[in-house]
Structure 1
Amino acid sequence: MKPSLVLKMGQQLTMTPQLQQAIRLLQLSTLDLQQEIQEALESNPMLERQEDGDDFDNSDPMADAADNPTASSEASDSFSESTYQDSLGSAEPLDEGDWNERIPNELPVDTAWEDVYQTSASSLPSNDDDEWDFTTRTSVGESLQSHLLWQLNLVPMSDKDRLIAVTLIDCINDQGYLEEPLDELLAAFDPELDVELDEIEAVLHRIQQFEPAGVAARDLSECLLLQLRQLPANTPWLAEAKRLASDYLDLLGSRDYNQLLRRMRLKEDELRQVIELIQSLNPRPGSQIESSEPEYVVPDVIVRKHNDRWLVELNQEAIPRLRVNPQYAGFVRRADSSADNTFMRNQLQEARWFIKSLQSRNETLMKVASQIVEHQRGFLDYGEEAMKPLVLHDIAEAVGMHESTISRVTTQKYMHTPRGIYELKYFFSSHVSTSEGGECSSTAIRAIIKKLVAAENAKKPLSDSKIAGLLEAQGIQVARRTVAKYRESLGIAPSSERKRLM
């Protein structure tokens, strides 16, 4: 082809640095946002925390707009761009001067934040040893191996036995079971150590006496027996429970109670008490040792009922209220291009944009939460069975935003209601048609299935086909495979595994 110059017209979506910052803050969880705000406070001298009792009228009314904690569902649109611009002007104590005209309201879309303003110092690694808290940054929950090694250090052992014990502990999985066969472990030891299989078994028996009870077992039967042996000798039905765990555990797993009654020669009520003793044990003893860090949930929105009306409020305790420091803002001088003045002017503009991004985040969160509450009033009044079908597109149309924005708002954002704390995504679910031409939420169907299973006859649990028939009798048309999918999502076992003795 012959090279040539061609002029074309087209459209391309670009984002300004301000929009990029607003989107980034919008998708942060409350805990991540708190950390982001703290970093901004530490790096930007123009930003300061609004303390209780301070008057915003004398400093920066933008902070009140940026974090209004008591906006109800009818007042979610109370913030406006004009209000922001007016309050922003009053945030700076300089009544006249044209220095702020040099600060652009919008950065060009083809620039980056660092092209115009300095990068925050908080994004750089700190070498200050005094501020580095190694414990809080690296500490995690205790692992099962470390828990067992701690107990091993309290037991007097020879060096050879201690080496065997450490090897055995390394082969114990998170559930508390020994994964490797003893003969394979024996082959892994150095022949010069002259380790014998009896020695490994002896050390294993000592480890099996450690806490938690049942640890280092090689199968479920041994795990249950280890726990039963640690119970008091006068425990009712202890001998029968040991016999069941040792010889008939497969029959218990298949719910073959008739065979258990015949082979153990027990009456139905006696077998039920033996099974209750077995079920009181922990089949996964290693799970008692928590190795992961605890996860905390801080609600972003609080919903409460007042005078028969549901009100939506931002959680004022979750995010600190910010404002521009009026004293530092007053240090910015007009027509001064010195390095210090340029730095302060950059920090002032960055602070203004950060507060505006927080305002935008709170406005969007309030609009979305208010629409969710408006749509799911039945859930708040009557519970999960009254949940209505809802998709992102419905909220996007109601608030006039894109579905991707709604997705960001509802991810890792939580709502505190009288019925509990729920992620905003919980209120979204698909629908199933009803015989009357209406729609039923999949969440409501799950709640009905859970209710039916809870009320079923334990000797004859409901099959998926039977549950589908009961739902159809209520006008909800659901296939058997759909019932099975919903049941599995609720963590409910199949009917063959739910069979119990009365």
Structure 2
Amino acid sequence: MALSPSLNLRQSQSLVMTPQLLQSIRLLQLTHVELEQFIAGEIERNPLLAREDGEGSETPAREDAAAPNTAEAMAERLDSSLENVFPDDPGTRETIGPDLSAQWRSASGNGLASGGDWNLEAVAAAPVTLREHVREQIAFSFEAPAELLLALELAEGLDEAGYLTADMGEIATRTGADLELLERVLLTCQTFDPAGLFARSLAECLALQLKARNRLDPAMEVLVANLDLLAKRDFHALKQLCGVDEEDLIEMLGEIRALDPKPGTAFTTEPADPVVPDVTVRPAADGGWAVELNQDALPRVLVDQTYFATVSARAGKEDKAFLTDCLQSANWLARSLDQRAKTILKVASEIVRQQDAFLLHGVRHLRPLKLRTVAEAIGMHESTVSRVAANKYMMTPRGLFELRYFFTAALAAADGGEAHSAEAVRERIRRLIEAEDAGNVLSDDAIMDILHEDGIDVARRTVAKYREGMNIPSSVQRRREKKALAGIGA
């Protein structure tokens, strides 16, 4: 068979990931805060976009669209001649004075005096940072310039928790100071408020706080020096090392629990963003559930068609092309936000339908649920459901939950019945452990047997994995702690 070049024409279909499609996928998985930031950036870049603040809000009028921008027109609108700003005529001053006084009374009546937008009492002072708090104490604690500079160097080595992370030898080498002098400066800094600052370890941090309370006796020093035994709940060994009985040890443990392991975090100024639910679920009149989108978490934008028509009519070729791109981008964003809201509502409604028993009776009735099950029910791809479930929250009569909370693995039933949710099994394990007493601490095998009696087919290693995932210690450690707290000898 001879080989020869030829031309062939073929037709095929393929999915092309356009920038708009990629952006739509990104919008779907953004949190409420991230979405607000994204929309704010788009409004700043796109002159045709405006935020819709509420129901029935209209596109804000743009006075500069039709007003001429000549110097005379601007001067007339601003009315900022020197005669108006600094009037020389006493009669004019008499005329202007009462108006300004009335404006001031209006401002003070609406805000400064009666709690309006300009209430001075509502203005919060800037929060004091950890380093600012420490520098104030350094200024009053050291007089010698050398000691003052060394203390400031040590302050720069504090982390957010108040621990000294800088190396003492490195500071001494860099500053040329004697290490003994640096140690004396550190001892003074370790007396600062709050107690525990400038510690180089957890044990030293706790010791500094106990010393400030005049409670660092020899027995407490031994206890602080053996925090590893305390973490293991080896109270029998601690009693022998400290030379105390059960009652004294329990009192010492109570003092340790009252200490702050991270004293510097009290000056953390980063505000925590509140969780805003994307969907709310409430009982409906017909006995079902009403699933609604939270309007506060549903930003809406408006496309200013009037402004586009007014400006593009007298714009040049390049400006008109820019405005056309802005119009397409604005229309796409509005459609994407609408599609995002509809997708979230579809996924949330199907989750509510699948988890009806959980909403009625609690976490023990949470059903095992997969992303594929919801995707097939609403006719969407599994990856779309996964993006919707990420970082989205649902407010239910049972509390606030992330959508991913409702997707759990299935554990087989011992009697061959309906499978159990892994989250429901974890809750069952947690309640069994909370009901323990010092004389009846359940091992992982005992918990497994109880779950088998309840019809849950679960292995002992699965029980141990769920227990460790909830940060619950082993039965040996729990028994030691409960005996110590109950005053029973180990």
Q: Give your verdict on TM over 0.5.
A: yes
> Of the candidates 468, 475, 484, which is equivalent to residue 448 of structure 2?
468
Per-residue CA deviation, residues 395-429 of structure 1 (Å, 9 max, x unaligned), is 11011111111111112222222333222112111
Q: 1:246 Cα deviation (Å)?
A: 5.2
Per-residue CA deviation, residues 150-208 of structure 1 (Å, 9 max, x unaligned), is 543443242322343344445545544445675x4586356xx45142x2322121111
Find the aligned partners of 1:230 and 1:224 in 2 and give their Cα distance.
10
5 Å-filtered alignment, 1:180-191, equals 184-185=169-170, 188-189=173-174
Find the aligned partners of 2:276 and 2:20 in 1 and give their Cα distance.
27
Match of 2:358 in 1: 379
Find the aligned partners of 1:253 and 1:352 in 2 and give their Cα distance.
59
Is 1:457 the counterpart of 2:461? The answer is: no
CA separation of 1:401 and 1:166: change in aligned 2, threshold 3 A: same
Match of 2:30 in 1: 28
Q: 1:278 Cα deviation (Å)?
A: 1.7
Q: 1:458 Cα deviation (Å)?
A: 4.3
The one-letter amino acid paired with 1:312 is: V
Find the aligned partners of 1:339 and 1:194 in 2 and give their Cα distance.
66
> Of the candidates 325, 345, 350, which is equivalent to residue 329 of structure 2?
350
The one-letter amino acid paired with 1:427 is: F
Match of 1:164 in 2: 150
Q: 1:53 Cα deviation (Å)?
A: 5.7
Asked if structure 2 preserves the Cα contact closer than 8 Å seen for 1:141 and 1:293, the reply is no
Is 1:436 the counterpart of 2:436? The answer is: no
Match of 1:447 in 2: 427
CA separation of 1:195 and 1:460: change in aligned 2, threshold 3 A: farther
Find the aligned partners of 1:53 and 1:302 in 2 and give their Cα distance.
19
CA separation of 1:467 and 1:175: change in aligned 2, threshold 3 A: farther
Match of 1:71 in 2: none
Asked if structure 2 preserves the Cα contact closer than 8 Å seen for 1:176 and 1:285, the reply is yes
Match of 1:483 in 2: 463
Match of 1:227 in 2: 209
Match of 2:283 in 1: 305
CA separation of 1:370 and 1:253: change in aligned 2, threshold 3 A: closer
Match of 2:117 in 1: none
Match of 2:343 in 1: 364
Per-residue CA deviation, residues 243-284 of structure 1 (Å, 9 max, x unaligned), is 553566565444333444456565534432232122211234
Count of aligned positions: 412
CA separation of 1:155 and 1:55: change in aligned 2, threshold 3 A: closer
- 356-365 or 306-315, larger mean C-alpha shift: 306-315
Q: 1:455 Cα deviation (Å)?
A: 1.6
Find the aligned partners of 1:403 and 1:53 in 2 and give their Cα distance.
34
Is 1:195 the counterpart of 2:197? The answer is: no
Asked if structure 1 preserves the Cα contact closer than 8 Å seen for 2:52 and 2:300, the reply is yes
Asked if structure 2 preserves the Cα contact closer than 8 Å seen for 1:241 and 1:275, the reply is no
SS in 2 for 1:303: strand
Match of 1:130 in 2: none
Q: 1:222 Cα deviation (Å)?
A: 2.9
Q: 1:306 Cα deviation (Å)?
A: 3.0
> Of the candidates 356, 362, 377, which is equivalent to residue 398 of structure 1?
377
Q: 1:149 Cα deviation (Å)?
A: 4.1
- Which structure carries more relative contact order (alpha carbon 8 Å, separation 6+)? 1
Per-residue CA deviation, residues 420-474 of structure 1 (Å, 9 max, x unaligned), is 3222112111111110222111111211122122122246643333322322222
SS in 2 for 1:299: coil
Structure with the higher fraction of residues in helix conformation = 2
Asked if structure 2 preserves the Cα contact closer than 8 Å seen for 1:186 and 1:195, the reply is no
The one-letter amino acid paired with 2:273 is: E
The one-letter amino acid paired with 1:350 is: S
The one-letter amino acid paired with 1:466 is: A
- 7-16 or 393-402, larger mean C-alpha shift: 7-16
Find the aligned partners of 2:464 and 2:277 in 1 and give their Cα distance.
32
Is 1:268 the counterpart of 2:246? The answer is: yes
Match of 1:89 in 2: none
CA separation of 1:54 and 1:174: change in aligned 2, threshold 3 A: closer
Match of 1:242 in 2: 220
Asked if structure 2 preserves the Cα contact closer than 8 Å seen for 1:224 and 1:245, the reply is no
Stretches of structure 1 that go unaligned for 5 or more consecutive residues are: 60-139
Match of 1:78 in 2: none
Find the aligned partners of 1:454 and 1:272 in 2 and give their Cα distance.
20
CA separation of 1:228 and 1:356: change in aligned 2, threshold 3 A: same
The one-letter amino acid paired with 2:40 is: Q
Per-residue CA deviation, residues 260-317 of structure 1 (Å, 9 max, x unaligned), is 4456565534432232122211234344443755333222111222333221111112
Find the aligned partners of 1:412 and 1:371 in 2 and give their Cα distance.
17
How large is the Cα RMSD of the aligned pairs?
A: 3.7
CA separation of 1:170 and 1:327: change in aligned 2, threshold 3 A: closer
> Of the candidates 114, 138, 147, which is equivalent to residue 152 of structure 1?
138
Find the aligned partners of 1:14 and 1:375 in 2 and give their Cα distance.
34
Is 1:417 the counterpart of 2:403? The answer is: no
SS in 2 for 1:322: strand
Find the aligned partners of 2:43 and 2:26 in 1 and give their Cα distance.
17
Match of 2:386 in 1: 407
Asked if structure 2 preserves the Cα contact closer than 8 Å seen for 1:141 and 1:292, the reply is no
Find the aligned partners of 1:342 and 1:249 in 2 and give their Cα distance.
70
- 491-500 or 163-172, larger mean C-alpha shift: 163-172
Asked if structure 1 preserves the Cα contact closer than 8 Å seen for 2:312 and 2:323, the reply is no
Per-residue CA deviation, residues 74-132 of structure 1 (Å, 9 max, x unaligned), is xxxxxxxxxxxxxxxxxxxxxxxxxxxxxxxxxxxxxxxxxxxxxxxxxxxxxxxxxxx
Find the aligned partners of 2:218 and 2:394 in 1 and give their Cα distance.
49
Match of 1:86 in 2: none
CA separation of 1:40 and 1:262: change in aligned 2, threshold 3 A: closer
Asked if structure 2 preserves the Cα contact closer than 8 Å seen for 1:144 and 1:291, the reply is no
Find the aligned partners of 1:312 and 1:176 in 2 and give their Cα distance.
46
The one-letter amino acid paired with 1:47 is: L
